[in-house]
Each structure stands twice: as structure tokens, then as C-alpha cells.
């Protein structure tokens, strides 16, 4: 039996009140340059947008909020840098690949960073020892965006000079997915609905965690 709208509304109000009353505890953990009020407002909006999320374990909801605050990233729709998702009745705060790009830029040591997919028909060459290690020319096929992906790579140019690159084949990405994501085959999994976005996130995260790029403690966020 579906729960009454009043139950959802009451649960949402309790969550909002609890977080609001603990403002003095979590507000100081917000990264510099980010707005505590904005993060609070967007988090609540994301909960309200998917009413079933309020049924998640209450402590997991508060932990997801703490993770959101620690990252300083906005939660929201498809193009937002972060999102909320439910797994086994636990609410999780997730960071999209766009969010990881934002964290990298925020660290202050990044001049430019890009994440690209190599598709069938593209000219692609990766030479790790070269000054410019990646040569990638897109195919002029009008249907290029519908062609298969062979590799995904992240290329980061440091503000102090130097280039860092991470290149993964589709086989490696899918192997990683199968080994580390429990519900990757579920129809509701982002690996099923947004494979390329998740692949980009995997590769940029691998680069940022490689130790070759410095991120300040404020910018490490949640997984």
C-alpha cells in the first residue's frame, strides 16, 4: 500500500527541521567560497523532487547531507555536479564526472582539463612519453555520436606546466564496472542508463586519485 502524501510531507519536514537545527555544527565544514544556505536549499529540493528518498534510512539521509556539505557541490538534475540516489534503503550522495571536474578546477593547480570519448572512425594515438601524449581527430561521420566507444581519456594541463593523462579502453572500463559496482546490470543503474557519463567519471576519478594531481582536503568530497 502506498504511503499517504501526509506521511511524506511530515517526514520531509522532520528532516528539514533536524538539519536546520544543527546548522551551527555543519555550516563551518562548508568549503571556502561555497554557500551553506544554497547547499541546504538544493539538498532539500533534490529530496522533494523524489519523494521516495525520504523513506531511506534517516541516518543515511543525514550522512548524505554531510557528504554534500563537505564537497560543496550542488545536487540536482542531470547536469548538476552531484546527485542523490537510493541503494538498499540507504541514501547516497554521488558526484558526477562534472563534479569531479569542478573539484579539480577548485584546487587551483589546473589550467585546463577535458574528458573525451574515442569513437569508431576517429584518429587516435596515445604516446605516453611524448610532450603532447594524445592525438585525437574526430571522424567527420554525421552520426559519430551514435558510433561505438573504444576508449575514454582524461587530459589535464597543470597551471604550473606539465600534462597528465589517463586512458582507458572500453574493455578496462567495463571490467572495472563489473568488479566494483554491485548493481551495474540493474536497469535503474546509471551504468545502464548513462554508460558514457559513468565511464567519464571513472576515468577522471582514476586520474585525480593517481597522486599526480594535488587536491586540497576541502575538495576531496565523497564517493
pLDDT in tens, 73-125: 999 877 899 999 998 899 999 988 788 778 878 888 788 889 999 999 999 99
The span from the CA of 27 to the CA of 44, in Å, is: 15
How many residues are listed for the chain in this entry? Answer: 223
> What percentage of the chain exceeds 70 in pLDDT?
93
Flag whether the pTM goes above 0.85: no
> If you write DSSP's letter for every residue of 125-194 in order, what string do you get?
EE-TTSSS-EEEE----TTGGGSPEEEEEEEEEETTS-EEEEEEEHHHHHHHHHHH-TTTTSTTSHHHH-
Residue 74 and residue 80 in contact, taking contact as beta carbons nearer than 8 Å: yes
- Report CA 79 to chain centroid distance, whole Å: 10
**pLDDT digits over 139-153, tens only?**
999 999 999 999 999
β-pairing, 134-137 with 110-119? unpaired
Give the residues across from 3 on adjacent strands.
none
Amino acid at each position: 500500500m502506498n504511503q499517504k502524501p501526509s506521511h511524506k510531507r511530515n517526514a520531509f519536514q522532520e528532516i528539514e527541521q533536524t538539519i536546520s537545527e544543527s546548522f551551527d555544527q555543519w555550516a563551518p565544514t562548508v568549503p571556502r567560497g561555497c554557500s551553506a544556505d544554497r547547499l541546504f536549499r538544493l539538498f532539500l529540493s533534490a529530496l522533494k523532487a523524489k519523494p521516495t528518498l525520504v523513506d531511506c534510512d534517516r541516518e543515511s539521509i543525514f550522512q548524505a547531507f554531510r557528504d554534500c556539505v563537505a564537497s560543496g557541490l550542488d545536487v540536482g538534475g542531470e547536469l548538476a555536479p552531484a546527485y542523490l540516489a537510493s541503494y538498499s534503503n540507504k541514501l547516497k550522495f554521488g558526484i558526477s564526472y562534472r563534479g569531479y571536474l569542478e573539484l579539480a578546477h577548485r584546487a587551483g593547480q589546473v589550467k585546463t582539463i577535458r574528458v573525451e570519448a574515442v569513437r569508431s572512425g576517429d584518429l587516435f594515438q596515445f604516446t605516453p612519453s611524448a610532450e603532447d601524449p594524445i592525438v585525437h581527430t574526430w571522424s567527420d561521420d554525421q552520426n559519430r555520436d551514435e558510433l561505438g566507444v573504444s576508449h575514454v581519456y582524461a587530459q589535464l594541463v597543470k597551471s604550473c606546466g606539465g600534462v597528465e593523462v589517463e586512458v582507458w579502453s572500453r574493455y578496462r572500463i567495463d571490467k572495472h564496472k563489473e568488479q566494483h559496482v554491485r548493481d551495474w546490470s540493474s536497469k535503474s543503474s546509471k551504468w545502464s542508463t548513462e554508460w558514457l557519463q559513468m565511464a567519464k567519471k571513472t576515468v577522471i576519478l582514476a586520474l585525480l586519485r593517481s597522486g599526480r594531481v594535488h587536491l586540497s582536503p576541502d575538495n576531496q568530497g565523497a564517493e
